[in-house]
Chain A
Amino acid sequence: MTTLFYLLAYLAIAGFFCLVFLKVRSYLRASPLHVRWELYPVPHEGAKTSYGGSFMEEKEWWTKPRHVHHLGDIKALITEVLFLRATFEHNIKLWFRSYPFHFGMYMLMGGTIIVLLAAFAQLCGASPDGGLMIFIGNVISAVVLVGSLCIIGGGLSLIHRRMTDEGLNKYTTPEMYFNIGVFVVFGLFGLFAWTGASSYFEMARGFLYNLMTFNFIPQPGTWFALHLLVGFFLLIWIPLTQMAHLFMKYFTYHDIRWGDEPTTYNERNKSIIPDALKYAVTWSAKHVTGGAGSKTWLEVATSNPAAPKND
């Protein structure tokens, strides 16, 4: 049973990264090049960003070098991810519920990374009872308590809002309640594990240390084991659901909303366009292929369905 538990852990971690990889690959392979579909403000426009301006405000912009202020993108992405800025600005009622929920997740994710580093330090010879470990233990103790409470409180209030707000209620599917519910259970088990053990940190570090050293020993507490099991499930489940926005948001923002690079500055795109025009179009309307069944995009774009017919 213990071995199975650890196998599930390996499976969940590997599964998470595989699924993320597949999702990202699927996005990147969906098209060799999509049209520009930017929305302003775009944060890498430097001083123009403050009012939503773009390089296209410049006379003969194509004759000038392209300046992309990457720091602007990074700043905007960080504010969005860490503070849910868009929800704060456009849906404040939901933000008061959604932010604690997300903040709780960030706390637990950050906590996991710290514990992972501590386990790695132990692997490298650091004393598990040293002063640094005690300090980290106290930090983790606070992080887990706050994180779990935030997930539970935020999750329950999100469920409540989705059940009681007429607009949200109509759009919330059983899976969405399930997803939030699983997080709430995850937080509850974490809280119970925290309450029932002298040190949550020691349990977590021990588990990760054992995972890294293939030392399959049973978990010290039932609540902690259940907490981990739900965590394994979430690792697999998140990439399979709309919650994959956790990482796909990078593309919806960076590649689509802020993807304003003109072809003038991109040699790769210049070569992709003619290739993409070779794809076969099979749309059925008569003005598209003129009954030919299939034409390339190039043939479609250079044909004229309204031209007089030469019979």
Chain B
Amino acid sequence: MKDNLLLSDVSTAEGQMTSVNLERIPVLPLDVGKMPWRPLTEEQKENTCCILDDVCVLNIPKPKNRAEEEELVNKFLSGMRKSFTKENNWAFLPILETSTDYCAQCNSCADACHLYEMSGEHDMYRPNFRSEIFRRIYKQYVKKEPLAKWRYGDMGLNWKTVARLGELAYRCNLCRRCAQTCPIGVDNGLIAREIRKIFSQEMDIHPRELHEKGTMNQLKVGSSTGMTPEVVKENVEFIDEDYAEITGIGIHTPFDVQGADIMLLHNAGEIMAWPENIAAFSLIFQEAGLSWTLSSKALAYDGVNYGIFYDDTQAARIALQHMLAAKELGVKKIVIGECGHAHKGLTVIADRLIPFEYQVPRESCYVTLHDVIMSGRLKLDPSRNDFPVTLHDPCNVVRLMGIVQPQREILRRIAPKFREMPCNGVNNYCCGGGSGFAIMTRNNIEEWRGNISGRKKMWQIGEAFKECLGPETKKYICAPCSNCKGQIREILEHNDLYAKNSFAYGGLVELIVNAMSNVKPGFIKWEDEEE
């Protein structure tokens, strides 16, 4: 295995190319352990292209003969060619071209990347590593520029290069913090996503959590959770009943109200994993007297759009269905619940993909909630939130949409001990679960999230609470995004940080309900209070 990596190693190294040495990854003030890499099985080594590092996301079947090796390479090249055509990639082509042509190789992006830093500055995690391989292949084998090897650097192209490049596209959270620091305006995050697109749209290779269990499931039954419209309505009804008892206030979550002002679009994962989030939204909207509804139409009760992470065609299909459902209900706006990628996907990306006549205005729930809180429509008692609170900024909402202050102004109003993390707002770090990783657990992916991708966030959390670490003080990590919560939950659980540090985590709405005077106290529960 290579320790000191060269770009050309992706085409020459035999077997597993590299490994992140866990002794080199930073030790944190929080007690976040290092999870040993589980060795690949003999079967994996034999049958799959798990040849990059200790992690394997794509499970590409290993070519069995020369013809299959060539097929893999040719399919990739075919996809790369299509990426650079207006017809197949009009939505991203100018951005892809500038990121391919103008990088000055200054490596300013590396220091901005949480993966590079938390892997102990492993070369593979320089944001430019995969991009440069991509560029060299493009210049040498697709564009076939004269003197390409001299001008752009030589890159061997074989099945190993392709398989490793595909995996490399999944060693990035697509948080685009690197792009924010680029002096030229090159976007290495975009290139990672474009590689994912080539693999999915041309080669039919994708992580099963994003494709088969994700977008395809959503298009088939209505939600990536597998919930059908009937099941969703039943579950929400149960949530209403349960939380009416818990809060002491009757809750009714409306479905399919024609002509309501707002269609609220949740991440359906909340219904299954964090029902308190669904209940909190319903309670706030109800008590604030908003005219609102959920949709029970397939796809429209789940704001998830994993296509945003890997496939434009799936992204467009899902976004269109979200818009059409809102059109059918005749609502004035779609309010997007606590889900970062749903925010960006439907508000920003869909803005120039869906014909304007099919669009319904979209608003972030942070903005809607800000209006509710600041207009005094809820009776609030901030002393109920008299514990330290810090805020995680979901990349998709903050760095990529510029929604920074509404959630902070709410917290300043309802949480007297609110404090910022270091590197907050648009300079935030990804939770570590971004771009689909939060829902992946196999082939050392959870180890990767604990050891590398989620580590910087844990550093930020530790710093935010540094004067009150330990089990004595209850603390709340406000992470108003479903995927981010999933990632944070996993690290807290795995490291027993609920008990060691009295952490609770959740969204923004739970904190609001916890402060509502007419709600029974104690909506937010810490581990020792769980029933």
Contacts and interface: CB of A to CB of B under 8 A. Distances in A.
Interface stretch (A45-53, A65-73, A110-118, A212-220): A45-53
B95 A37 contact: yes
Contacts of A286: 204
Contacts of A248: 98, 101-102
B372 to A, nearest CB: 10
Nearest to B400: A39
Nearest to B211: A287
Contacts of A164: none
A176 B105 contact: yes
**Among the interface residues A244, A253, A269, A276, which one has the most CB atoms of the partner chain B within 10 A?**
A276
Contacts of A27: 94, 97-98
A130 interface: no
A60 B179 CA distance: 29
A91 B111 contact: yes
A251 B179 CA distance: 15
Please tell me the size bucket of the interface on B.
Answer: 35 or more
A6 B194 CA distance: 46
B503 to A, nearest CB: 27
A257 B185 contact: yes
A27 B185 CA distance: 14
Interface residues of A, number: 89
Given A40-B402, A269-B352, A305-B219, A35 B150 contact: no
Interface in A56-98: 56-62, 80, 84, 86-87, 89-91, 94, 98
A252 interface: yes
Contacts of A171: 7, 105, 107, 128, 132, 153
A99 B96 CA distance: 27
Contacts of B157: none
Given A59-B371, A262-B351, A34 B220 contact: no
Contacts of A222: none
A41 B317 contact: no
Contacts of A56: 347, 364, 367, 401-403
B304 interface: no
B111 to A, nearest CB: 7
B352 A34 contact: yes
Contacts of B103: 242
Contacts of B401: 40, 54, 56
A273 B356 contact: yes
A51 B352 contact: no
Given A35-B91, A252-B102, A90 B6 contact: no
Interface stretch (B81-89, B430-438, B463-471): B81-89
B403 A53 contact: yes
A52 B354 CA distance: 27
Interface of A: 26-27, 29-42, 45, 48, 51-62, 80, 84, 86-87, 89-91, 94, 98, 167-168, 170-176, 241-242, 244-245, 248-249, 251-253, 255-257, 260, 262-264, 269-270, 273-274, 276-277, 279-288, 297, 300-307
Q: What 10 A-B pairs are tightest by C-beta distance, nearest first?
A: A54-B402, A252-B185, A52-B426, A306-B220, A40-B402, A86-B183, A306-B219, A91-B108, A283-B201, A90-B181
7 contacts: A51-B404, A62-B361, A80-B183, A242-B104, A283-B313, A297-B316, A301-B316
